[in-house]
């Protein structure tokens, strides 16, 4: 940056003294709205004017020219030869025009920027400002809010899955289940509308499955009565761990059901490891 550009930026004369330059720099720096780029420009202008300021003798007023040393006068005039051209007078010393100071020589090696200087010390430019406290608090609160939303979505998903699983297990089986007991050696040959007693003393009501009347006899023995003949009927028996529990295991067999007559269905003891059984479906494909 040239001295003229620096002086225009600080609003001082190019020949201003160090104190004037520093005063103008402090005033420009204190103006409101100064950003980091303007601070850097003001600092560069101040350094350029301080480097280009003219040297002044102690006690001499600003702008006064330091007297130049004159050559010593001759003690005795020398005779001039005749017809000799008179000597030309000395040219007046060149004085720089007002407003332009003499260029100061380069500082010595010991006065490099950042090293010790013999001149007055000037404070450095103010440091750059970081994030404010409000910005840091805002970023932190935003992160916490995002984490809470993710956690809430995860909890809702887990609750929905658990609720759907419980409803599915409760609705898998709607048929009555009979407890396991040893089959009777004297089963009834005719269907009975009277409720039968289970091995635990409770009664098992008759029920209908796919148009077939089911009567519990004893243990895992059931009487199936169909209104019409069904050849190759597929009977599916479901097993549970409680009388009203959901189906945990199944066993199927193919039987021939006569029309209007009872058919005794005996489920093998090794059909399942669960204690309660019930007829879930009767599929009649041929009549």
Decide if 104 contacts 55 (C-beta within 8 A): yes
Based on the domain organization, do 188 and 236 belong to the same domain? yes
Decide if 63 contacts 17 (C-beta within 8 A): no
Domain range for 119 is 1-52+98-129
Higher pLDDT, 113 or 161: 161
Based on the domain organization, do 214 and 244 belong to the same domain? yes
Which residue is it, tokens 């303007």?
38
pTM of the complete model: 0.33
In which band, very low, low, confident or very high, does the pLDDT at 156 lie, cut at 50, 70 and 90?
Answer: very high
In this prediction, residues 66-93 reach a mean pLDDT of: 52
DSSP 52: H
Q: How many Å apart are CA 211 and CA 259, to the nearest integer?
A: 12
Tens of pLDDT, residues 106-128 = 555 555 555 555 567 777 776 66
In the beta sheet, which residues pair with residue 59?
Answer: none
Number of folded domains that form the chain: 3
Tens of pLDDT, residues 203-221 = 778 999 998 999 999 999 9
Q: Name the helix (H) or strand (E) containing 168.
A: helix 133-170
In this prediction, residues 274-283 reach a mean pLDDT of: 92
Based on the domain organization, do 153 and 260 belong to the same domain? no
In this prediction, residues 21-49 reach a mean pLDDT of: 81
Highest mean pLDDT among 43-52, 79-88, 190-199: 43-52
Based on the domain organization, do 245 and 278 belong to the same domain? yes
In this prediction, residues 173-202 reach a mean pLDDT of: 47
**Does the pLDDT value for residue 19 go beyond 70?**
yes
In this prediction, residues 117-143 reach a mean pLDDT of: 76
Q: How many Å apart are CA 235 and CA 210, to the nearest integer?
A: 10
Q: How many Å apart are CA 215 and CA 226, to the nearest integer?
A: 12
**Does the pLDDT value for residue 185 go beyond 90?**
no
Q: How many Å apart are CA 100 and CA 179, to the nearest integer?
A: 118
Based on the domain organization, do 115 and 138 belong to the same domain? no
Based on the domain organization, do 225 and 140 belong to the same domain? no
Q: What is the mean pLDDT of the chain?
A: 73
Based on the domain organization, do 238 and 216 belong to the same domain? yes
170, 195, 226 — which closes off a domain? 170
Residue 240: the pLDDT is 93
Tens of pLDDT, residues 244-263 = 888 999 999 999 999 999 99
């Amino acid at each position: 940056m040239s001295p003229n550009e620096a002086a225009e930026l600080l609003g001082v004369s190019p020949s201003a003294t160090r104190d004037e330059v520093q005063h103008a720099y402090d005033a420009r720096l204190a103006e409101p709205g100064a950003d980091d780029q303007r601070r850097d420009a003001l600092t560069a202008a101040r350094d350029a004017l301080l480097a280009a300021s003219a040297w002044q003798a102690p006690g001499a007023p600003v702008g006064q020219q330091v007297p130049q040393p004159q050559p010593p006068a001759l003690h005795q005039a020398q005779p001039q030869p005749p017809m000799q051209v008179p000597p030309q007078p000395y040219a007046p010393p060149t004085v720089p025009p007002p407003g332009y100071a003499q260029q100061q020589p380069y500082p010595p090696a010991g006065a490099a920027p950042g090293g010790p200087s013999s001149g007055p010390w000037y404070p450095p430019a103010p440091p750059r400002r970081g994030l404010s406290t409000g910005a840091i608090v805002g970023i932190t609160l935003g992160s916490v809010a995002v984490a809470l939303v993710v956690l809430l979505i995860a909890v809702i998903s887990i609750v929905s899955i658990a609720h759907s699983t419980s409803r599915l297990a409760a609705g898998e089986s709607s048929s009555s289940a009979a407890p396991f007991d040893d089959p009777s050696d004297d089963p009834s040959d005719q269907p009975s509308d009277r409720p039968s007693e289970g091995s635990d003393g409770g009664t098992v009501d008759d029920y209908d499955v796919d148009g077939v009347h089911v009567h519990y006899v004893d243990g895992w023995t059931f009487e199936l009565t169909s209104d019409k003949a069904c050849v190759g009927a597929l009977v599916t028996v479901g097993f549970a761990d409680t009388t009203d529990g959901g189906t945990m295991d199944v066993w199927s067999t193919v039987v021939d059901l006569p029309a209007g007559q009872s058919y005794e269905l005996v489920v093998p003891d090794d059909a399942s490891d669960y204690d309660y059984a019930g007829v879930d479906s009767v599929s009649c494909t041929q009549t």
